[in-house]
Structure 1
Amino acid sequence: MTKEIHGTVADGFEAVREEFAAFVAGERDDYEGQLFAYVHGRRVVDLWAGDGVEADSLYAAYSSTKGAAHLVVALLVQDGTLELDRKVTYYWPEFAAEGKGALTLRELISHRAGVVGTDTGFTAEEMADDRAIAERLADQKPFWRPGSAFGYHALVIGALTGEVVRRATGRTLQQVYEERIRAPYGLDFHLGLPAALESRYRPVQPMMPTPLQQAALDAAQTGPHTLASIAFNTHVPNPGTMVDYANSRTVRAKGPASAGGVAAARGLAGMYAATISELADRPPLLKPDTIAEVGQIHSIGYDLVSRTHRSYGLGFQATADTWHPFLGAGAFGHSGAGGSQAFADPRTGLAYGYTRRRLAFPGGAAPENQRLVRAVHTAALAVA
């Protein structure tokens, strides 16, 4: 493999290229990744590395998909089609079963519903189908009193909010995303990958932990009846792996809104740039009041599923608190289990996207994002 760095950076962002090159030089020979950033709608970083990788190569977005899903919700709230403080049952009456009737849409998208999965789990076919997931969750008894606490609804939050979108609009969340966000901007970020684009998809490669890292992963394994096992659907016989999930053509074709998206880094960054900035001669997708509300922290503290400190805005991760404390207050986005990171920092106008092919230890935003985000953010402040 050549460790040549491809692409360009704008004047003032040369240090970002140097940081990316230094990181890649120390990685495995089979490393593949992309880094892209906008500042106030202007492309400032467009870099990639790895054999066979192009600027438009597509990777599994995993939970970075949740950012696209909840941008749809934000647009519909902004339009007045959805109201955050209405009960979910106003849109979806069946959701009231088993004591969930008082939950509001605001609480639902803040990971406070308590239905992180089902007692018996989902089949692989169901995991690719948001409608099937939503139908099962409507009847599920919550694992904590709805609204009283929060926990990461890792594989189901997109199905839950997607069912609200479908009931309110008559369209699936994926259809609204395609019509209002992806297609108008030509974004390489797909919730439902067309067969014609399959040749650009780079299949996920499994994590290759060191012995010490493997020992840490083994120690973190949970029992079959924990909230974490239910939330990640590992309490079922033969649950499959994250690699199996993303590399399933059925998952990619249907684009389940929790973790089934496929993206290039420029697509991730482009979506967030369009959210907060003028882009392609179009005004920002979200108005300032909406941007402030989606980035406002709604759930913070002890996450019952991850058993760690987490914080969420309205469906988005509160990126400064969760990942990068040097970012501006109100930064919002979502990382993905494959190592991807994507966010908007409205105070600096920064929109960032990163993808990689091999799963990164220990999961979530890959560790290199710390140095890459800091380099991009520092340059963005310097040229402001």
Structure 2
Amino acid sequence: MSDIDVHGTVTSGFETVREEFAAAVGAEAGAQLAVYVHGRQVVDLWAGEEVTGDTLTGIYSSTKGAATLVVALLVQDGVLELDRPVARYWPEFAAAGKDRITVRDLLTHRSGVIGVDGGFTAAELADDQVIARRLAGQRPYWRPGSAYGYGGFVTFAMVGEVVRRATGRSLGEHFEQRVRASYGLDLYLGLPETLEDRYREVLPGLADPEQVAAFWANVPGPHSLTGIGYGLNSTPPLDQVAFLNTRRVRALGQASAGGVGSARALAGMYAALAFGLDGRAPLLEPATLGEFTMLHSTGRDLVTGEAGQYALGFQAKGARYPFLSANAFGHNGSAGSEAFADPVGGIAFGYTRRRFSFDWSYPEHDRLAAAVHHAATAS
């Protein structure tokens, strides 16, 4: 048991989750955990210096879950078609052999478009429209549809351009109106200046220098598929820690990795999406939820290796956490955020942390998810 000071509340039956949270998070990191079960909040915890339940921090690729929800709503509305070629919405995208790539291919990381030759500058990666313009002329890095590979910083710039061409509004504008403002969630694809005082910077990982050297000795090169997918093929390579600590990135809220939020908001979004929140019906109808949580891309990811497994836009959390149901879904983020919903167990889970792991591994995810699942099942 850690001697870290844990703040917040849990309902009866979830006391073990509080104990696991205290044991799993480091005092220096700053973390939040929130959980809903069948639309009722049962966990609301935080710990660490300068962190409260209201603290906002960078959630990196957990942003993709929010962006995917927007796409699912537009598909549900009949505004977007998953199997329609992207170029039917965005003609410029047809260049360099991309004319047959579909919206579904983008969402399942099967397009082969994970970056650009020569890389993006950090300033370019802040702006989805700039990313989209450069990707329009890029040849895929593998034959579209033949394999899958994670486009960490660019996938939802392409998806967002489809949304903009189809609706005349940005993906972020849709999210703000239909999800964030509608439910009062502290989850932003574009953080207002007025909320900057609640943002806490993401911190670099702590490790022994020898550990760090050993880790980087085995990291693929900047011009490998992994390097391209993570923005390392630019000069200088992208500094992920600095990325969301840059005001322009937070202000623009790029849809792949530029979101800012809290654990409460992440859990609340997944609760609203799948189970309903505040007495309201779920945002997604059963048929839409079934489509977007179905496994699409499995096996080896050309960018991340064995760490992949994707539904439609969402990560396949049932493959990640075998104690969850087969179609559990969500998305984590580089600094250590994690968020998911389990349609069978009724769980909506949100976790944030301020400090990167030096090797991008977050074993507390497994411990916390297991503790929540056990408590929810027992209750």
Short-chain TM bin: over 0.9
Tell me the equivalent position of 1:15. Answer: 16
**SS at 1:312's partner residue?**
coil
Please give the TM-score of this superposition, normalised by the length of structure 1.
0.95
> Residues 271-282 of structure 1 correspond to what in structure 2 (within 5 A)?
271-282=269-280
Amino acid at match of 1:85: D
In 1, Cα distance between the equivalents of 2:48 and 2:222? 38
Tell me the equivalent position of 2:175. Answer: 177
State whether residues 301 and 309 of structure 1, in contact with CA within 8 Å, keep that contact through their aligned partners in structure 2: no
**SS at 1:310's partner residue?**
coil
Please give the TM-score of this superposition, normalised by the length of structure 2.
0.97
Tell me the equivalent position of 2:38. Answer: 40
Tell me the equivalent position of 2:324. Answer: 327
State whether residues 231 and 238 of structure 2, in contact with CA within 8 Å, keep that contact through their aligned partners in structure 1: no
**1:380 is the counterpart of 2:376:** yes
How many pairs were matched up?
A: 377
Tell me the equivalent position of 2:299. Answer: 301
- Higher alpha-carbon deviation: 237-246 or 90-99: 237-246
Q: Tell me how far 1:304 sits from its aligned partner.
A: 0.8
Amino acid at match of 2:260: V
**Root-mean-square deviation (Å):** 1.3
In 2, Cα distance between the equivalents of 1:232 and 1:310? 14
Tell me the equivalent position of 2:350. Answer: 353
- Higher alpha-carbon deviation: 296-305 or 230-239: 230-239
Q: Tell me how far 1:159 sits from its aligned partner.
A: 0.1
Specify whether residues 224 and 239 from structure 1 end up closer, same or farther in structure 2 by C-alpha distance, changes over 3 A only: closer
CA deviation string 1:226-246 (max 9, x = no partner): 111111121121224111101
Within the candidate set 43, 50, 53, 2:51 is matched to 53
Tell me the equivalent position of 1:191. Answer: 189
Q: Tell me how far 1:3 sits from its aligned partner.
A: 2.3
In 2, Cα distance between the equivalents of 1:19 and 1:237? 42
> Residues 56-205 of structure 1 correspond to what in structure 2 (within 5 A)?
56-205=54-203
In 2, Cα distance between the equivalents of 1:217 and 1:260? 26
Amino acid at match of 2:232: T
Amino acid at match of 2:368: L
Amino acid at match of 2:367: R
In 2, Cα distance between the equivalents of 1:31 and 1:125? 27
Q: Tell me how far 1:281 sits from its aligned partner.
A: 2.5
State whether residues 223 and 232 of structure 2, in contact with CA within 8 Å, keep that contact through their aligned partners in structure 1: no
Q: Tell me how far 1:212 sits from its aligned partner.
A: 5.6
State whether residues 41 and 278 of structure 1, in contact with CA within 8 Å, keep that contact through their aligned partners in structure 2: yes
Q: Tell me how far 1:309 sits from its aligned partner.
A: 4.8
Gaps of 5+ in 2: none
Q: Tell me how far 1:210 sits from its aligned partner.
A: 3.1
- Among all aligned residue pairs of Structure 1 and Structure 2, give the percentage whose two residues are the same amino acid: 58
Amino acid at match of 1:16: V
In 1, Cα distance between the equivalents of 2:80 and 2:141? 26
Gaps of 5+ in 1: none
State whether residues 112 and 148 of structure 1, in contact with CA within 8 Å, keep that contact through their aligned partners in structure 2: yes
Query: Would you identify which runs of 4 or more consecutive aligned residues in structure 1 move more than 4 Å?
Result: none
State whether residues 61 and 263 of structure 1, in contact with CA within 8 Å, keep that contact through their aligned partners in structure 2: yes
Tell me the equivalent position of 1:291. Answer: 289
State whether residues 300 and 309 of structure 1, in contact with CA within 8 Å, keep that contact through their aligned partners in structure 2: no
State whether residues 204 and 359 of structure 1, in contact with CA within 8 Å, keep that contact through their aligned partners in structure 2: yes
Amino acid at match of 1:223: G
**SS at 2:220's partner residue?**
coil
In 2, Cα distance between the equivalents of 1:108 and 1:32? 34
CA deviation string 1:310-333 (max 9, x = no partner): 210111100121x31111110110
In 1, Cα distance between the equivalents of 2:11 and 2:76? 34
Q: Tell me how far 1:337 sits from its aligned partner.
A: 0.3
State whether residues 121 and 235 of structure 2, in contact with CA within 8 Å, keep that contact through their aligned partners in structure 1: no
In 2, Cα distance between the equivalents of 1:148 and 1:250? 36
Q: Tell me how far 1:361 sits from its aligned partner.
A: 4.2
Q: Tell me how far 1:51 sits from its aligned partner.
A: 2.3
Tell me the equivalent position of 1:239. Answer: 237
**SS at 1:178's partner residue?**
helix
Q: Tell me how far 1:307 sits from its aligned partner.
A: 2.5
**1:336 is the counterpart of 2:333:** yes
